[in-house]
Homo-oligomer: A and B are copies of this chain.
């Protein structure tokens, strides 16, 4: 992107931020993937999720923290993510941009 405006989010990034926000501290790679799948029927591979998480943390929009091992069977520790104040701001902005462009239009579409 050469020199991006500096405060833009890709569509996966928006979805990941929304899921992290929703999960309020309980979000980690797998649960984020599942949350998006359950709510929006959109299936991302884990590779996509983790890549986005890494970028978002790098930009300061997320923080991460290792969890304790659970007594559930086996498996590696989870890496929990949380959204930061700048993260909320940039997400709000991105959603708002689209909202403004949608204002007052009707795409048609069959009523459910």
Contacts of A107 in B (CB 8 A): 21, 88, 91-92, 95
- Nearest opposing residue in chain B for A96, CB measure: B40
Given contacts A21-B105, A88-B108, contact A8 B11 (CB under 8 A): yes
For window 86-112 of A, CB contacts with B under 8 Å fall at 88, 91-92, 94-98, 100-103, 105, 107-109
Chain A count of residues within 8 A CB distance of the other chain: 33
Contacts of A42 in B (CB 8 A): 97
Is A75 located at the chain interface by the 8 A CB criterion?
Answer: no
Question: Which of B5, B14, B22, B103 lies in contact with A39, CB distance below 8 A?
Answer: B103
A17 to chain B: closest CB distance in Å? 9
| Contact present for B109 and A92 (CB under 8 Å) | yes
| Contact present for B101 and A39 (CB under 8 Å) | yes
Whole-angstrom CA separation of A18 from B54 in the bound complex = 30
